[in-house]
């Protein structure tokens, strides 16, 4: 498997990058005539993969699509895909026939035989939900020309989990909310999001922790609403509001206690530049503070693209591939520290 050197984490950061790391729209679809994945036999699952691989993709992507067979992929490759947010953790570690299609720029991916037969996503850096929506809609329409998606007049598109029935769409953004964390308002925001039927998850989606103050926020219910309505509500109201909360928290912090902010961000940068051993969780936490410092203009000799890239490169599989490390202890602390020190221009 050969992944692109670029990914959304390495591209230019995009609109509203101070708060929104990436945007994603995902559609769930199933093919008529097959049981849902959890009821399908191995031959049926193999057939589903075969059918999707022969479907027609939009011309702009068709040439650059790479298919990865997850059953044949190495553990390292599977972990790489998770770290890039191209497949879910569950999908990577399952053991039934399954595959993923990835466009050459990695903005588009289609998991086959995850919870649904098809999970298509478009992932872009910064706040670009409208572009993601356009992209995934175009993919859906094109695939539907050669695939017969399960659909019921009464419910809409059928999905394995009821929360996806209807239009089967999920909008999500990966937000960086260190300001709300520092002011202590993050819990209020989480509670408000729950009231609005939004899901707030950690860095690697479902069942993961909010490492480094990253939160994945997404709409929860799709039944009875049109894709357009969900897009309007989520992209035009919810996300701008969350961005506003975070920016307000940051400016309150800077006004009320600039010394505290500088203390946090300068210490974090100094430790990253001085450490000799660096665990991944600690690195995420420190990079999160540096990211805040860069976005607030309190750190001027590091740029946002470098910090974003490091969030990806410090992950274990990326680190192994990138450094061809011979470190054997499995936790890569020394290699990670060396990489980070160099990237941040330590003396």
- Which of 50, 56, 197, 267 forms a contact with a copy of itself (CB under 8 A)? 267
Provide, for the chain, the percentages of residues in helix, strand and coil under a 3-state DSSP scheme, each rounded to the nearest 5: 50, 15, 35
Residue 277 in contact with a copy of itself, rule: CB under 8 A: yes
Contact window for a copy of itself (CB under 8 A) among 70-78, 85-93, 235-243, 254-262: 254-262
Residue 85 in contact with a copy of itself, rule: CB under 8 A: no
- Which of 62, 76, 161, 274 forms a contact with a copy of itself (CB under 8 A)? 274
Query: Which residues have C-beta within 8 Å of that of residue 328, sequence separation ≥ 6?
Result: none
Is the Cβ of residue 118 or residue 339 nearer to a copy of itself in the bound state?
339
The structure tokens listed for 24 are 């994603």
Contact window for a copy of itself (CB under 8 A) among 101-109, 176-184, 244-252, 264-272: 264-272
Q: What is the dihedral of CA 96, 69, 66, 29, to 10 degrees?
A: -10
- Which of 44, 46, 266, 325 forms a contact with a copy of itself (CB under 8 A)? 266
Is the Cβ of residue 130 or residue 346 nearer to a copy of itself in the bound state?
346
Contact window for a copy of itself (CB under 8 A) among 80-88, 100-108, 196-204, 272-280: 272-280
Evaluate the CA torsion angle 339, 344, 345, 347 in order and state its sign: negative
- Which of 270, 305, 321, 343 forms a contact with a copy of itself (CB under 8 A)? 270
Is the Cβ of residue 62 or residue 260 nearer to a copy of itself in the bound state?
260
Residue 260 in contact with a copy of itself, rule: CB under 8 A: yes
**Partner residues linked to 217 by β-bridges:** 173, 200
Smallest distance, a copy of itself to C-beta of residue 59, A: 53
Contact window for a copy of itself (CB under 8 A) among 67-75, 189-197, 267-275, 307-315: 267-275
What DSSP line would sit under 234-294, residue for residue? IIIIIHHHHHHHHHHHHHHHHHH-HHHHHHHHHHHHHHHHH-S---HHHHHHHHHHHHHHH
C-alpha 39/C-alpha 150 separation (Å) is: 15
Using CB under 8 A, count the residues that bind a copy of itself.
Answer: 16
The structure tokens listed for 157 are 């598109």
Smallest distance, a copy of itself to C-beta of residue 213, A: 20
Alpha-carbon Rg for the chain in angstroms: 21
Other Cβ atoms less than 10 A from the Cβ of 63: the count is 9
Is the Cβ of residue 77 or residue 334 nearer to a copy of itself in the bound state?
334
Smallest distance, a copy of itself to C-beta of residue 331, A: 12
Residue 113 in contact with a copy of itself, rule: CB under 8 A: no
Is the Cβ of residue 21 or residue 310 nearer to a copy of itself in the bound state?
310
Site string for a copy of itself, 51-70 (x = CB under 8 A): --------------------
Residue 259 in contact with a copy of itself, rule: CB under 8 A: yes
C-alpha 10/C-alpha 98 separation (Å) is: 27
Identify the helix (H) or strand (E) that includes residue 23. Answer: strand 20-29
Tally of CA atoms within 13 A in the half-sphere of 310 that contains its CB: 32
Residues making up the chain, counted from first to last: 347
Residues that bind a copy of itself (CB under 8 A): 259-260, 262-263, 266-267, 269-271, 273-277, 334, 337
């Amino acid at each position: 498997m050969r992944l692109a050197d670029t990914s959304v984490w390495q591209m230019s950061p995009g609109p509203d990058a101070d708060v929104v790391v990436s945007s994603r729209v995902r559609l769930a679809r199933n093919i008529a005539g097959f049981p849902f994945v959890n009821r399908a036999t191995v031959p049926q699952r193999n057939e589903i993969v075969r059918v999707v691989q022969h479907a027609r993709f939009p011309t702009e992507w068709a040439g650059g699509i790479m298919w990865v067979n997850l059953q044949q992929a190495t553990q390292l490759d599977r972990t790489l895909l998770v770290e890039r947010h191209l497949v879910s953790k569950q999908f990577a570690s399952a053991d039934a026939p399954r595959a993923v299609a990835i466009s050459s720029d990695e903005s588009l991916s289609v998991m086959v035989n995850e919870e649904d037969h098809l999970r298509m996503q478009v992932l872009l850096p910064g706040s670009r939900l409208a572009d993601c929506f356009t992209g995934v809609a175009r993919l859906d329409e094109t695939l539907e020309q050669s695939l017969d998606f399960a659909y019921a007049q009464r419910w809409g598109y059928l999905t394995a989990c009821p929360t996806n029935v209807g239009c089967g769409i999920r909008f999500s953004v990966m937000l960086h909310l260190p300001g709300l964390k520092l002011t202590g308002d993050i819990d209020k925001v989480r509670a408000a999001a729950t009231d609005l039927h939004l899901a707030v998850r950690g860095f690697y989606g479902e069942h993961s922790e909010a490492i480094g103050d990253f939160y994945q926020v997404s709409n929860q219910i799709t039944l009875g609403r049109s894709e357009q309505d969900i897009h309007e509500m989520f992209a035009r109201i919810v996300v701008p509001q969350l961005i506003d909360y975070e920016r307000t928290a940051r400016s309150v912090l800077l006004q009320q206690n600039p010394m505290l902010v500088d203390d946090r961000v300068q210490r974090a940068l100094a430790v990253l530049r001085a450490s000799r051993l660096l665990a991944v969780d600690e690195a995420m936490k420190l990079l999160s503070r540096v990211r805040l410092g860069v976005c607030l203009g309190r750190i001027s000799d590091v740029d946002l693209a470098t910090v974003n890239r490091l969030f990806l490169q410090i992950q274990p599989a990326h680190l192994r591939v990138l450094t061809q490390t011979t470190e054997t202890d499995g936790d890569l602390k020394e290699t990670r520290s060396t990489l980070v020190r160099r990237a941040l221009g330590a003396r």
